Structure formats: structure tokens, C-alpha cells
A and B are shown apart, each in its own frame.
Chain A
Amino acid sequence: MKRYLRNPVAVLGAALVLAVLGMGLAAPLLFPGDPLGLAGRPLQWPGANPRFPLGTDPSGRDIMAQIFHGARISLLIGFVATLVATAIGIAIGALAGFYGGWVDTVLMRLTEAFQTLPNFLLLLVLVAVFGSHINTVTVAIGLVSWPPVARLTRAEFLTLRTREFVQAARVQGLSDLHLMLREVLPNALPPVIVYASVVMAVAILLESALAFLQLSDPNVPSWGNLIGLGRNVLRVEWYVSAIPGVAILLTILGVSLVGQGLNDALNPRIGK
């Protein structure tokens, strides 16, 4: 923790993430109405009307309110999708790395299959099949993001399972489940947690790309949705697309900087 705070870049990242989190939490207080409801005359430039500091979109909705509520959606999707992806990844990686042999072969073939398939394409297929409700989209993003987590966990388990403390626990007659969850996993977890920040950044980007193509849930105020809507008026009212894009950029930047800071803090080899 101390090492993390000594790193100015990591602190900047944490500040960005906290700011987005604050926006998401404050959204219902500052903008209690429906962010997707009609607010005023459409396409007012930012600053033209003091009621709408960031202007209004082509349907006359307040962009500022959509940005604040969008922070909520982006973080929620990023967080839940990351949770799904890391859970699947850890489970598969742990089983493959711990048991080896045919279990490893089968599970790694599966992982390879998922990695061979372009993940955005698989996401499109999943959305086409299961619909684009926000819950479905979130789970689908998690489902396409787990392979790198599985590979990482497997590699950690492979090196850790032959260590002495694991063998000591094994001769004590502890069950495989105990060995995996209580002995190996806690030691394998730090790099996986660091990698989770990458998964989260990618998850947020995937959702915004999906929403940009108007294939995500149209009933939630997503940043990507707004960029997609702004595309129709891009030539003159380009601010409609520009503003939510900056929000996405800063969020991803924050998440990656936090990940990098965690990596530097947890990795004892660097920092000297």
C-alpha cells in the first residue's frame, strides 16, 4: 500500500477511477430524472444553455446526465464482466494446472478454441443469439474474456504445485480441493488480480464498441450508445460523440494506471 502511494502515476490512476466512481454514485442525486428522457431543445452546443453544461443530444436529452449515469453503467458492466471472466478463468486454469495430464489437455484445447475465435466476433454471435439485455451483454463479455486469465492461473499453478509447502500439505492428507483453494490459490492470486485490471479495461471497451454499433441494450444510458447516436450528426455537432469518448478514455486510462501501479507495488523485483 505504501509502495503504491509513493508512485504518482498510480495515484493519478486511482484518482481517475475514484472520480468516475463518484460520478456514478452521485448520478441519481444530481440528475434524479430519467437520463434518457426529453430534457430540452435537441442539439444545443455545450455552454449555449446554462441548464445543459455539456449540451443536448439529437433527441434533446441532457448529455451531462447521460455521462454521469453512463459512469454507473460502464463501471458496473466492467466490474461484473471482470468477475465472471476471472471466476471462469481461475476455475479452468486451476484445474488444468493442478491436475495436468488429460484434464490439462482438454481444458487447454477449449481455451485455445476461445482464443482462436476473435472475441468481438464471438460477442456479436452471443448477442445475436441471446439478445441484448444489459445482463446478457455483461455475462457475454465475461464469457469472451476469460482465456488469458485461465492461461495465467494455469502457469502459476504449474510452478506452485510442486513446491514444498504444497507437498507438505499433501502428505498431511488434505483434500485436493483444500490444496487448490487454501494452499495454491492465495499464492497464485496476485498476478491474476493485476491482470484483472486489463480484463476490466477491455470489458469496458467491448461494451462501448457494442453499444456504438447499437447492438447493446438501448434502454440504458451507455457512453458507447451516445457516441453511436452522435455519429449521425458528426459533421457539424461533433461534440455529441466527442464528450462520451473522453469519458471512456479517462476511465480506461485510470483502470490501466491502477493495474500498472498494483503490478509495480506487488512485484518486488521492480521498485529497487
Chain B
Amino acid sequence: MRVFSLAARRLAASLPTLLLILVGMFLLLQLAPGDTVDALLAQMGGGDAGVARDLRVFYGLDLSLPAQLGNYLWRLVRLDLGFSAIYGKPVATVILERLPATLSLMGASLSLAFCAGMGLGVIAARHVNRWPDTLISTLGLIFYATPSFWFGLMAIVLFSVQLQWLPAGGFGDVAMGYTGWRRALDIAWHLVLPTLTLGLIFLAIYLRIMRASMLEVLSLDFVRTARAKGLREGRIVTRHVLRNALLPMVTLIGLQAGTMLGGAVVVESVFALPGLGRLAYESVVQRDLNTLLGIVFVSALLVIAVNFAVDLLYARLDPRIGA
């Protein structure tokens, strides 16, 4: 319970940060050339000054800047993200439609990066400076240096075009009309390549941190005690070392949440996934500033939520924190 209140306090502390982001973004977007009405008029193929004025009054764009900002924040409190002129729907609806693809992509990539990074890191640390370590560390360096979008394209060439094993893109095959489990399986099948693409660089980071963290914990006194007690090496690693070595890895999840969301923008557009990242890209190209602001808000919320979860997990792993 104490853990929960600690995490809740951290959550409350992130409210000023959120406010800072929203106000900053709002002011930044005021500097953008053209507003929603301009974008709307361009879509309609132009209109006269009278129509533009009426539209500005309708959208509240004729008010002073502080009044607009106040209006915007008040609408956000009621979870109203405004109206997307480009999609002709409320921004909240547009974003909610796109959220599942991004969340499943991020969840899958994170799990892959975390588990594979942990496993490889443990192997590398247990064979430090021998060939498994050298091989894994070299692979890690190369993965880290690979631009994700390029890896994605090359994976499409190899697995989709040449070998024809995996689909080149899309979020499930809509034309097949699958439902239930069959559909979930189909989506998972489509997510294999994007997950690998997005997860690769994070795998490299996790692997490096895990190796360093394992090496550090392995040199501590309590490990020597455990060895002196005559415990088997496997048990020492799983029961004593792993739990302590995992702490920096968990911290990293929170720190990397934002970066991963940014990476999703690129990966989703490589694989034509209808996700939040692709929406961000589209709204930049189409100058749909309302949607862009909404995406920024939702991404910030997502990052804060991930950090909240990390706080809880951290306390679960390390009982000293809750005390």
C-alpha cells in the first residue's frame, strides 16, 4: 500500500510537467504558418474572406491568445481534444482508432527487447571476455548502429519479397474478414517484422546494460557468500544476481518509453501500420495541428503511465524502496 502511495505521489508530481508540455506545445504551434481554418479552406478548394471569418469564430480562433489557451486547457480537462478538420471526426476518436496498433507494436517490441536483451546479457556476462561474450557484444554494437527504417526495408526485401515468408505490411488482412482468435493471430503474424525492426535497437541497449549490471552484481560480497555456501552456479544467477541486476533494466524501460514511441513513427510508416506514429506523420504533412497537439498529449500521458508502472514494478523488485 505504501508502495502505491509513493507511486501515486510520483504521478501527481508529473502533472506540472504535463502542463508545461501542453502550454509549450500550444504556444509553439501558434508559430506555425496557417491555422486550422487555412487547412480547412485548402481542403475545400478555397473560400472567401467572409467564410474564413465565420469559421474562425466557430473554432474560437478569433479570441486572444491567452483566452484560446485557457479554452484549450479547459477542454482537455474534460478530455475533449477538439475536432480534426482533415479527418472530419473528433481528434479523440481518430486517436483511439489508431491506439491499438501502436500499443501492440510497442508492447511486443518492449517484451522482445527486454527478454532477449536480458537473456543475451546474462550469457555474455557469464562468459565475459570469451567468444560468446565477444559475439554477443559485437552483435549488440551492430544492432545499435542500424537505422531501424533501413533494417525494416531490408527485412521486407528478404522475408517478404525474396522468401515470401512474412507479410510486408498492414495491420492484419482486412480482406480475409477474420474474427476472434483467427484475427488476433493474423495481426500477430503481421506484427513480426515491425516488432523485430522496432525492438532491435532497444535489444542492443538492454543487452549492454544487462551485461554491465550482471558483472557489477557478480563482483559483490553476497555473491561470494552464496558461492561459499556451496550453492550451484545456476541458482546463484537466477535467485541472487538476476533480481539485483534487473533494477537498472527496469529503470531503462521508463527512460526509453518516449524514444520507443518516437521510433514507432518511423516503423509504422515503413510497414504501413495504422498507428499513432503514422498519424503523427500524416498530421505533420497535412498540417492538421489539432490532431498533432492531441497526439502530443496522448503520448505524454502514455509515457507518464509507463513510468508509473515502472515505479510499481521497481518497488516490487526491491523491497527497500517501499519501506
Contact = CB atoms under 8 A, between A and B. Distances in A.
Interface in A182-229: 201, 205, 208-209, 212-213, 215, 224, 227
Interface string B220-234: 000000000000000
Contact of A242 (B148, B154, B255): B154
B284 interface: yes
A109 interface: yes
B277 to A, nearest CB: 8
A241 interface: yes
A115 B28 contact: no
B299 A117 contact: yes
A67 interface: no
Given A116-B21, A120-B266, A128-B32, A252 B281 contact: no
Contact of B296 (A125, A205, A253): A125
Contacts of A224: 147
A248 interface: yes
Given A116-B21, A118-B258, A121-B299, A212 B149 contact: yes
B292 A125 contact: yes
Contact of A128 (B156, B263, B287, B303): B287
Contacts of B258: 115-119
Contacts, number: 142
A116 B14 contact: yes
A128 B156 CA distance: 29
Given A124-B265, A213-B269, A116 B18 contact: yes
A227 B153 CA distance: 9
Contacts of A215: 281, 284-285
Contacts of A124: 265, 280-281, 284, 292
Contacts of A174: none
A248 B145 CA distance: 8
B107 interface: no
Contact of A120 (B16, B28, B262, B300): B262
B20 interface: yes
**Secondary structure type dominating chain B contacts:** helix
B71 interface: no
A213 B152 CA distance: 14
Interface in B26-59: 28-29, 31-32
A176 interface: no
B297 to A, nearest CB: 10
Interface string B230-271: 000000000000000000000000010011111101100100
Contacts of B17: 109, 112-113, 116
Contacts of A120: 259, 261-263, 265-266
B24 interface: yes
Contact of A245 (B154, B265, B304): B154
Given A116-B300, A201-B145, A121 B265 contact: yes
Given A118-B261, A125-B292, A129-B32, A109 B147 contact: no
A231 B151 CA distance: 12
B11 interface: no
B161 interface: yes
Contacts of A121: 261-262, 265, 280, 295-296, 299
Given A109-B17, A125-B25, A249 B145 contact: yes
Interface string A235-248: 10010011011001
B173 to A, nearest CB: 19
A56 interface: no
A256 interface: yes
B20 A208 contact: no
Given A227-B147, A252-B147, A253-B141, 18 more contacts: A113-B20, A115-B258, A121-B299, A125-B25, A126-B28, A128-B32, A129-B31, A129-B32, A209-B149, A212-B266, A234-B161, A235-B161, A241-B150, A241-B153, A248-B147, A248-B150, A253-B142, A253-B145
Please give me the 4 A-B residue pairs with the lowest Cβ-Cβ distance, nearest first.
A120-B262, A245-B150, A252-B145, A118-B262
